[in-house]
Amino acid sequence: MSAHTHDHIDWADRLTQLRTADALDANALSAIARRLVAALPPTPTIVDLGCGAGGMSTHFARALATHGGGTLVLVDATPELLAEAEKSVRAAVDTASNAAGAVDAQTAPDDVVGTGSAGSQPVWGDRADGGSTNAASGSVEIRAVRGDLADAGLPGALPAADLVWASRVVHHLPDQQEAVATVAAVAKAGGLVALAEGGLDFRCLPWDLGVGRPGLEDRLLAAQAEWFIGMREGIEGAVAMPYGWSVALERAGLTDVDSFGALVHHPAPGPAMLADYVVHRVARIFEFGGEYLTPDDRETLTSLLDPNSPHRLAARRDLYLTGAKTVHCGRRP
């Protein structure tokens, strides 16, 4: 393992899969980035905590470039991922700079779903459709900082941010509430905190695969949930958080707490990378959650993942990807 992680997962080893996931999530991530950046003051500072391979950071960089510029700070505890994120973001900034002067009048696609409070005015975006409100191009400063979100001293090593983003990282840390408080502490007064956690589990398999008992994916997701419980229990110093993310933001002292969703949808047969992604996803759940499956389901999965099997997943044209990301937001008083 290249770096210590609280969840005992070698994230550097997952770099290829993280890149693929970022590519498949691109439309949703772009819409989220535009929506959040539209709510920020001129030349803002954005901090991406747990940036991974940089998928979301590239969209923040493009959004900043078309909103007058700003500063983007990448933070991750895994050096290989941090280096990859910095490379990807700098390439995205160069591309945006080469296209300077072009007006991005495109509104967000229909994969952005509205507020968590029916009829309320969103506090985390000036425009509900996420459209660009200022297309003036500007320079984007990129900084990369190696840091652990479980370190309560991390905010002191980072600039005060107009937007702090943390996606699917807090649930890997021992004390999730304390981590949310650390995320909030990075924001300046009046700054926006956006936490992407929860949402709807991705689905990718037909109900009846022609081998084994139908409904395999439901049982896979149940096994994944059991594995997640064990993963949390295996984190040294793990602390229970028996309430939802919106309450966690409120307990961290944030105000105007609300949420919105973003749909990830690739109908069959999907892009060329989809089959490999699905095969890897199913194989990973089988690897970590196989003990929670019946012997018949394990036999079915062995056949589905065998590249020489007539039932192999990789050869199917009815694989798809549908799920939703949830972004919980609040402001630091």
The total of other beta-carbon atoms located within 10 Å of residue 101's CB is: 7
For residues 15-21, average pLDDT: 82
Q: Residue 46: give its domain's CATH number.
A: 3.40.50.150
Q: Is residue 106 part of a domain?
A: yes
User: Residue 63 to residues 31, 44, 140: CA-CA distances in angstroms?
Assistant: 10, 11, 10
For residues 194-220, average pLDDT: 97
How remote is the C-alpha of 51 from its chain's centroid? 9
Confidence of residue 150 (pLDDT cuts 50, 70, 90): confident
Q: Is residue 5 part of a domain?
A: no
Whole-angstrom Cα distance, residue 195 to residue 246?
9
Q: Is residue 172 part of a domain?
A: yes
* 8 backbone dihedrals φ, ψ, rounded to 5°: 65, 30
**Residues 278-292: b if buried by 16+ CB within 10 A, e if exposed:** bbbbbeebbebbeeb
Q: Is residue 1 part of a domain?
A: no
Instruction: Give the tokens for residue 267.
Output: 């109908």
Instruction: Give the tokens for residue 229.
Output: 């419980």
Q: State residue 100's pLDDT score.
A: 55
For residues 179-190, average pLDDT: 97
Whole-angstrom Cα distance, residue 303 to residue 21?
24
Q: State residue 278's pLDDT score.
A: 97
Indicate the pTM of the whole model.
0.86
For 94-131, what is each residue's pLDDT tens digit?
A: 876 666 544 433 333 334 444 444 333 444 554 333 33
Instruction: Give the domain extent around 89.
Output: 11-331
Contact 4, 236 (CB under 8 A): no
Whole-angstrom Cα distance, residue 303 to residue 288?
17
Min mean pLDDT across 126-140, 162-176, 235-249 is at: 126-140
For residues 9-32, average pLDDT: 82
Q: Give the residues across from 167 on adjacent strands.
A: 196
Q: Is residue 4 part of a domain?
A: no
Contact 302, 257 (CB under 8 A): no
For 159-169, what is each residue's pLDDT tens digit?
A: 999 999 999 99
Closest by alpha carbon to 329, among 164, 162, 190, 195?
A: 195
Q: How many domains does the chain have?
A: 1
